[in-house]
Structure 1
Amino acid sequence: FEYGYQAPLGRGQGNGDYSGYRGLARINLDARTQTGYGTLRAFIRRDAASRPGLPTGPSGPQIGVGKSFPATAIDQYVRVVQYFNTDKAFVQFGGLTAGRASSFFDFYDHDFEFVAGSSGSDVSSTTLLAYAATIGNGFSATLSMEDPSFRRTPIYAPTAALSATVGNTSTQIFGQANSLIPVVLGVNAAGQPIGFGFTDGIQRNRMPDFVGVLRYDQPWGSAQISAAVHELNTGNVITQGGFLGFNSAGQALSAVNAVAPSTHSEYGWAVQGGLKINAPFIAPGDVFYLQGAYAEGAQMYTGNGSYNGSYAINPTSIQGASFNQNFSDATINPFTNQLQLSTSFSVVGSFLHYWAPEWRSAVFASYGENTFAAGARAAQGAYFGFVPGAGGTNAGSTVISTLGVGTPGTRFYNLNGNLRDTYMLYAGANLIWSPLKELDIGVECIYAQYGVQNGWVLYTQKFNYTAVKVNTGIPVKTITNTDVFQARFSVQGDF
């Protein structure tokens, strides 16, 4: 049984729950057979839960990976959820591991936390094929081929055709003279520069993630260095026909006489170091963890994100938050159609302490940052500024829409929270009483803060700001971060 209390920041658009509940059942089956080649092990873990909605557990963002089945009634969506998941199902034989298991990249597995919301890689399950070799003197090395689907965040891509071209000051954009795009976007059949396209940003499965690990285990604890390579492979520009703009000679372009540049695949990567120190000198069972990670184009390996999942491009981790963060491994530059990789880093520390054999506590904290590539936000803003119905103003300074990140140089662009570089601060502590070996009764409190690394953002919790209104200079309310406090009570029995 689990009960969670979290004060929402807003009461509109389905937000406003203070309480959440969860009932969870977990079944572990562990079969081991001794053979002439070593131990053969088969392990299965099945989870089933009722109502793992906010604020007591992951639901909404996790639906995208097929774990939850929500009620569809308007008042029950995300509140009434049935959750069924094969968390583990693997075979081990010698150094071989095959099946659904924890990623070998991971080190600190958040076992000390109820919510497991601190920054730090912890993909509880993925499908993999790995081989671990014992080197000697406590050293081991592992090479793992892992399913990239469980390490993806959506790529941010433009969604409407860019009718912009390159040339001199007479270049035409929607019939307006403009010289604001000094970029060659492609060529038409006559070799003239152009730019256009609907972009297909859905990622493809082509290459697996490759993970390499070097680990050192001793009675005092463990140390591990992990590295991973993660491919980002998307579709290309989809030529939809219609008006695509003009080339530098002032000739109208179409899907017939224009050739768009393909989107090239990119390889993200991540590295992580972790240290575990057993501390029986404080009390039997005490343990310290310290871990840090850095990634480019592989944000899930640093573990930054919403504590209820990061599979959506901007999941709302706090109900009614003043702004939503973007969690994207990359953005597609609307002028070149090429991927621009994001970077991220995280650090996390945790300490488990036994006050007595029946009483234990854990304290934990983390900090992380997500940063978009230089110029990525400006490129999206320029794109939206030139496309009718997408946002910004055209070359004649006529307001054409209010969506997107806004046009660079405008007040709305400077204050819009979309595609802003952000940080995540998370801290918590718990107290658990175990009157019996098979029973845990505990309470946990956490604090989470999300904010922009630089500048201010519009306070959208109670105000509906549009580009048109903001750019006229009306008074606005701004913030730099939003935060939340949560308390959780849990009763767990094992047999």
Structure 2
Amino acid sequence: MKLVKSLLLGSAAGLTVVAGAQAADLPIKKAAPVEYVRVCSAYGAGFFFIPGTDTCLRVSGRARFEAGYTQNFTRGNNGGGGDLSGYRGLGRLNLDARTQTAYGTLRAFVRFELASRTGAYLTSGTANRAANAFPALGVDTFNRAQQYVNVDKAFIQFAGLTAGRAASFYDFYAHDFEIIGTTLGSDVSSTNLLAYTATFGQGFSATLSLEDPIFRKTPIFGTGTALVNGQYQVFNSGSGNFTPVIAYNAAGVPVGVANYDVVQRSRMPDFVGALRYDAAWGSAQLSAAVHELTVGNASTITPFNGFPAIATGAAAAPRVSNEYGWAVQAGIKANLPFIAAGDALYLQGSYGEGANLYTGISAYNGSWTSNGNIASGASFNQWYSDAIVDPVTGKMSLATSWTVVASYLHYWSPEWRSAFMGSYGEIYHGQAARNNLALVSGLASTGVQPLGNPFLAQSAFNAVLRDSNQIVAGASLIWSPVKDLDIGIEGLYTRQAINNGRVIDANKTSAVPNGVNAAGLPTLNGAVLPTTTAIDGFNVRMRVQRDF
């Protein structure tokens, strides 16, 4: 037994020695070297090299809470009147990637924004119309709650080229000092474009940009969206837009109207040019834009009231031609460190024809719509249509608009600052085209007729397509107790008014006048109807914002 035990122990010891010898002959596997993230100092703070590449990346973002209250001093029970408060929570993520090449810096920038909005004026019809948001559909939440999803930026810059989704090169001030952009003036922060910028001299640059026209379209005025049994059923909606043009028979006698489709299609890009100067004292910019206004073909022909039906091909109307709107803008920014560090002043003015989104006349009330007002349930709407098709001549009559804005930022101390801003704008529609449209629509079976008969005195009190003006002015106070944290409040005064005459106060009556008294006031069966000339409103907003 002792012999067997000795043999087993000896065998085990021998195997151990052999295994150790074989293990000693195997190569030793070394751990892969660790590649640490390195700081990239070439482009400023926050950049780091993406491991394994020569590309520098900066990740940043924003979290924001907003609340607002809007008071329309003339508010009544008209339409959706009653929604006064609103809230919004917003998140932003920025990715900025840069690589140095033989041609200069290659940059790609992406910004995502997500928001949840509720209530008056923090939900955005503009965002819905631009396909950046979708609204709630419940009874109590209908258009009062909104989810906002947007690729706000996604562009590439290389050797003077900018391609992708970026801010329009036409814009200058673009509400830089405001908590929520509201003053009048152009501010298209996200559009699709292809641009080239050349630098020359000391601080000078010139840019030529081809930009997506969709984000600059204000609807051409139309009296309907659909024709059912020869009548317009709804006017100025999103599904279509028609306007009448007189049709003539073979003998040249007017017998009805051709119903022209005036929904604008995208055929040509907007052409934008900008000349800019930047220096230590501030900057200045002169920009211009050309914007195509398009129309479609005539669909059906509606006979004048009392005329027999028109056989297909028996009547024709003048062909409505496309037109080109245009706008120019000049702006200057002056740094004012001799008042306080960080102080600055913006001055800007813009003028345009058939290009109302370039002048920014609708910036406060809402863009990409034919009309709007300063508060829910207002007494009348202000009209923004870029053009009216004159039904007699078949030509477009372009609207003219202009705006001016001033904004001053002042630092009371490094932690406290205020902005003071004021803006004013006017818009003019072609009155001859407006009167012709009212007359022709009255003669034809157009169902919905918002303009009234231009030969009756009471039609002078209709607010549709009236020349008008608007004021938006306000101030803010912002506290930044630590770097990149803002807690602020902003108050705004707004006023929209017609340039001359009076309009029916829709807050007090929905009646249509059928006469005018000796004092020139509209009446219905002898009773004087309430009228107004202007709407005043006040808006208070606050925000808490952290950038990182």
TM-score bucket of the superposed structures, by smaller chain: 0.7 to 0.9
Write out per-residue CA displacement over residues 372-418 of structure 1, whole angstroms, 9 at most, x where no aligned residue.
Answer: 02412211221233234647xxxxxxxxxxx3211113243111111
1:380 and 2:433 correspond: no
Q: Which amino acid aligns with 2:172?
A: F
Q: Map 1:65-214 onto structure 2 (within 5 A).
A: 65-159=130-224, 185=246, 187-190=248-251, 195-214=256-275
1:413 and 2:459 correspond: yes
Q: Show the counterpart of 2:129.
A: 64
Q: Which amino acid aligns with 2:417?
A: R
RMSD between aligned alpha carbons?
Answer: 2.1
Q: Say whether the 8 Å CA contact 2:127–2:148 is kept in structure 1.
A: no
**Structure 1 residues 54 and 251: CA distance shift in structure 2, 3 A:** closer
Q: Which amino acid aligns with 1:234?
A: V
Write out per-residue CA displacement over residues 281-310 of structure 1, whole angstroms, 9 at most, x where no aligned residue.
Answer: 111111100000000000000001151522
Q: Say which SS state the counterpart of residue 67 (structure 2) adopts.
A: strand
Q: Show the counterpart of 1:280.
A: 337
Q: Show the counterpart of 1:175.
A: none
Paired residue for 1:49, among 104, 107, 115?
115
Which of 351-360 and 190-199 deviates more? 190-199
Give how far 1:6 is off: 1.4
**Structure 1 residues 293 and 157: CA distance shift in structure 2, 3 A:** same
Q: Which amino acid aligns with 1:128?
A: L
The CA distance in 1 between the partners of 2:538 and 2:259, in whole Å, is 42
Aligned residues: 457
Q: Say which SS state the counterpart of residue 414 (structure 1) adopts.
A: helix
Give how far 1:266 is off: 0.3
Q: Show the counterpart of 1:437.
A: 483
Q: Say which SS state the counterpart of residue 318 (structure 1) adopts.
A: coil
**Structure 1 residues 433 and 320: CA distance shift in structure 2, 3 A:** same
Give how far 1:245 is off: 7.2
Give how far 1:140 is off: 1.0
The CA distance in 2 between the partners of 1:114 and 1:468, in whole Å, is 46
**Structure 1 residues 143 and 58: CA distance shift in structure 2, 3 A:** farther
Give how far 1:14 is off: 3.2
The CA distance in 1 between the partners of 2:256 and 2:325, in whole Å, is 27
Q: Show the counterpart of 1:303.
A: 360
The CA distance in 1 between the partners of 2:252 and 2:504, in whole Å, is 44
Name stretches of at least 5 consecutive residues in structure 2 with no aligned partner.
1-64, 228-244, 516-522
Give how far 1:489 is off: 1.3
Q: Which amino acid aligns with 1:338?
A: K
Q: Show the counterpart of 2:382.
A: 325
Q: Say which SS state the counterpart of residue 435 (structure 1) adopts.
A: coil
**Structure 1 residues 371 and 153: CA distance shift in structure 2, 3 A:** same
1:314 and 2:358 correspond: no
**Structure 1 residues 357 and 251: CA distance shift in structure 2, 3 A:** closer
Which of 250-259 and 283-292 deviates more? 250-259
Q: Say whether the 8 Å CA contact 1:332–1:338 is kept in structure 2.
A: yes
Give how far 1:89 is off: 0.6
Q: Map 1:330-349 onto structure 2 (within 5 A).
A: 330-349=387-406
The alignment-based identity, stated in percent, is 52
Paired residue for 2:509, among 452, 463, 467?
463
The CA distance in 2 between the partners of 1:85 and 1:338, in whole Å, is 38
**Structure 1 residues 412 and 115: CA distance shift in structure 2, 3 A:** farther
**Structure 1 residues 191 and 217: CA distance shift in structure 2, 3 A:** same
Q: Show the counterpart of 2:296.
A: 235
TM-score using structure 2 length: 0.80
Larger radius of gyration: 2
Which of 2-11 and 91-100 deviates more? 2-11
Write out per-residue CA displacement over residues 199-253 of structure 1, whole angstroms, 9 at most, x where no aligned residue.
Answer: 211001111100011111111111111010000011122124x64579xxx9974
1:3 and 2:67 correspond: yes
Which of 150-159 and 33-42 deviates more? 150-159
Write out per-residue CA displacement over residues 91-148 of structure 1, whole angstroms, 9 at most, x where no aligned residue.
Answer: 0002100000000000002021122111111111110000000121221111000001
Q: Say which SS state the counterpart of residue 439 (structure 2) adopts.
A: helix
Give how far 1:18 is off: 2.3
Q: Show the counterpart of 1:426.
A: 472
The CA distance in 2 between the partners of 1:365 and 1:188, in whole Å, is 54
Name stretches of at least 5 consecutive residues in structure 1 with no aligned partner.
162-183, 392-402
Q: Say which SS state the counterpart of residue 72 (structure 1) adopts.
A: coil
